Structure 1
Amino acid sequence: MRYVRDNGSSSRHDIAQGCGLGISTMTDLISELRSRRLVKELDPIRRPAAGRPTRPIALDGEPWCALGIHIDVDQVRFSAVTVGGREVWSASIPVDLRSSAAEGPGIIRDILVREMAQLPPDKELLAVEVGVTGYVTRDTGTVSWSARLGWQDYSLISLVNDVLAELDIRRIHVGIANDCHLAGLHAARVELPSTPHTVAAYLGGMRGLGSSVVIAGEIYRGAHGGAGDFGHANVDPSGPACWCGRHGCLESYVGLPRLLADGGLMSLADAEQQVDADPDRAVQLLADAAAGGDADVLRVLDRSAEILGRVLDDVIGLVNPHEVILGGYLGVLSPYLLAGIRQRTEVRTAVAVFSETEIVGLTEVVPRVVRGAALAARDACLNDPLGLTRPLG
């Protein structure tokens, strides 16, 4: 299933060779998957060499769906896709989770119950993946700390399972992930021309600076779920205070409120309020000022590029990625950052083993988290297709 996901419709021979399986085993597996409408045979095509026409195998998955959810402080987004990858339903529900951490779970629960009841009735749900701001403990579905939501050691997976039980949806995969982990997954897998073996490091976010590592199309979570936390790399321990409790983190220097304030567009307090209320508008203010030649803003962006370059130089050395991806507000501002970043990393990338690392910016703001969550939920179906489905009549 993953082979066809990554390579598109393929012959039995190519799938067997790519997966290290015998043709007879492949025939049995494909028959089983077809009985569950997870794969389908396409029209015969004749190969250049003489021989019988081959019927390529492609993903089907139309009876089944996977659901991605993004819980943010001001909205809850949903995206349901078939196992084949076609989006069949989406929604975005405004919400305010800033005021009371105690009331947040109840608000989220009510939204999940109401909205998940709207899933297409002709699709059976197999997997749910929820993206949330904060640190998520690997394998337990616990939000160990979310400063923005005010949660500590909160079992979000239990809330989701309770909602599913109330809706009489049982025995499905449920996953909880950091929002920027999922955004990086979407950026690396969908937005850039990557191969199944690509290693990518992602930095993005709108209200805050998050980051992740994606290896061979999978999120690298580390031992307990906190891998890829480059946004809090320690630039200078005597630097500005960061919301995480340390001083001199990367975010404390290049976070969106800091850029607005240091660029002279507003006070730091006003910038924090602006970013919290409308981060899209906040980054557009910076981009417009830079495009208009504002000397103070351009100076701040040059300084930020140098600081980002220092951190990314270390990231390239530690991770040795094919791609370093700037998304979120850094992606929007990347036309003013990339030259300085590349200049700062040019000594390392002059070495052969690092020379092919590409540093790219995604200037378009898209809902990467919910789309990445849908990808991760769909991946869960592809990883356990026979365990999560049943033969259909």
Structure 2
Amino acid sequence: MAEATGFKDGLSRGGGSGELRQSNLTAILRFLRDHGASSRHDTARGCGLGVSTMTDLVGDLRARRLVAELDPIRRPGAGRPTRPIALDGEPWCVMGVHVEVERVHVRGATVGGTDLWQETAEAVFAEHHDGAAVLADVIVAQLPNVPEGQQLVAVEIAVPGYVATDGQSVSSRALGWDGVGVGKAVRSALADAGLPDVSVGLSSDFHLAGLFAARSLLSDASSTVAAYFGGVSEVGSALVVNGEIFRGAGGGAGDLAHLHVQLDGTRCWCGRHGCLNSVIRVQELLVQAGLHDEEAAAELVVTDPDAALSLLVDAANAGDTRVVEALEKAGSALGRAVDDVVGSVNPHAVVLGGYLGRLAPFLLPALDRQLRARVHEGPYADTRILVTDEAEPPVAAGAVLAARDACLYDPLGLTTPLR
């Protein structure tokens, strides 16, 4: 509740009545997003709004089909029935886009959260000199999937790399991009297709995976802090604070995969020795477990990452001593990183997803031993370690959440009254 009020106050200090109205509308939408259908009284109290102001704002949101009134509910005791309000958003469409080296995953949904379509398009960026243009073409090709009578208002693009402080250009080792102007290219392509006002956002892929994990696993995500560790074959990570991605000063916050956990560890692609990713990535685990030499492990992880992970899981389940020992050491390394995060960030929860989630039964005993001293201290005693059973990090789903948020945070700019 306090977060919604703080958001309103933070915007209203610097602008006039237009900004104040926008921030109040957003406060209502965020409250309903985080708490579900609520009475006007509870919503007004949670957002720090007066009853008369609330009535006017809800009228505007209903006209834009962003909220809807539900059937009356009679509470115990005397008094008139209450009509709860809830998010609507069905006329407005968003797109979540997950960029990989040779594929682009796209999911469409309404601002209200109804799934509309899901597709995967082939796009080998290494074969083209202008990767931003290739991606823009893929996104425009998805426009016929927008149902008749609905309007696309926001696109969120998840990239395997870092987004610059301008929020629109990308540097990605995996894609070979260095400051590529993805946002400008996509906006231009959408404008050429007759959609000049669509919001285009970019985020790191694991930021969005963490966002989805936090909001789906934590019942009170709007007032909690979560750290996320996941990945397909290497570690990706994020920090989610009060249900929002914590990006830091330059957009790189939450890069927990490169915490130093081993003095003389293997060299990582980042240039460091002994960072978490270099020690517990699947390729290194295959080598340490004696299942493959370095060259064969690297090839298998690239060509069939699921088979590489299954090889570890099956051998561990069979009781292969060397594999179990390798995973125990990996659990200790992960525990050292989690211990540092718990001590420095003091999150309510640490989430293990992706391949770490599948390996969790073999990692958690050693991880728990590393945390034993920490969690005996009062401030850290309630930190939870949560495990997801996702087949892959839910990046596209997180991108849909961020795209929906774009509309909730700018209702006056991205929607119009429909009645």
TM-score if structure 2 supplies the norm length?
0.90
Question: Which ranges in structure 2 are unaligned for 5 or more consecutive residues?
Answer: 1-28
Show CA shifts across 1:287-318 (max 9, x none).
11111111111111000011111111000011
Amino acid paired to 2:398 = G
Check if 1:41 corresponds to 2:73.
Answer: no
Corresponding residue number in structure 1 for 2:278: 252
Instruction: Give the CA deviation at 1:272.
Output: 1.8
Check if 1:303 corresponds to 2:329.
Answer: yes
Identify the match of residue 122 of structure 2 among 69, 89, 94.
94
Corresponding residue number in structure 2 for 1:7: 35
Instruction: Give the CA deviation at 1:188.
Output: 0.6
CA contact 1:334–1:362 (8 Å) conserved in 2: no
1:314–1:367 distance in 2 versus 1, CA, 3 Å:
closer
| Aligned partner of residue 386 in structure 1, secondary structure | helix
Corresponding residue number in structure 2 for 1:31: 59
TM-score if structure 1 supplies the norm length?
0.96
2 CA distance for matches of 1:326 and 1:83? Answer: 28
Matches within 5 A, 1:258-273: 258-273=284-299
Identify the match of residue 119 of structure 1 among 142, 146, 159.
146
Identify the match of residue 312 of structure 2 among 280, 283, 286.
286
Instruction: Give the CA deviation at 1:100.
Output: 4.0
Question: Which ranges in structure 1 are unaligned for 5 or more consecutive residues?
Answer: none
Identify the match of residue 110 of structure 1 among 137, 144, 158.
137
1:101–1:205 distance in 2 versus 1, CA, 3 Å:
farther
Identify the match of residue 77 of structure 1 among 79, 102, 105.
105
Instruction: Give the CA deviation at 1:339.
Output: 1.6
CA contact 2:187–2:198 (8 Å) conserved in 1: no
Identify the match of residue 136 of structure 1 among 163, 167, 175.
163
Corresponding residue number in structure 1 for 2:95: 67
CA contact 2:268–2:278 (8 Å) conserved in 1: yes
Instruction: Give the CA deviation at 1:96.
Output: 3.1
Matches within 5 A, 1:297-376: 297-366=323-392, 368-376=394-402
2 CA distance for matches of 1:339 and 1:49? Answer: 52
CA contact 1:338–1:359 (8 Å) conserved in 2: no
1:237–1:139 distance in 2 versus 1, CA, 3 Å:
farther
| Aligned partner of residue 65 in structure 1, secondary structure | strand
1:193–1:286 distance in 2 versus 1, CA, 3 Å:
farther
The count of corresponding residues between Structure 1 and Structure 2 is 391
Q: Name the structure where helix makes up a greater proportion of residues.
A: 2
Comparing 371-380 with 48-57, greater Cα deviation is found at: 48-57
Show CA shifts across 1:309-343 (max 9, x none).
11110000111000001111111111111121111
Matches within 5 A, 1:377-388: 377-388=403-414
Show CA shifts across 1:135-162 (max 9, x none).
112343221x311111111121112112
Show CA shifts across 1:69-97 (max 9, x none).
00011321111111111111211123333
> What percentage of aligned pairs have identical amino acids?
49
Instruction: Give the CA deviation at 1:384.
Output: 1.5
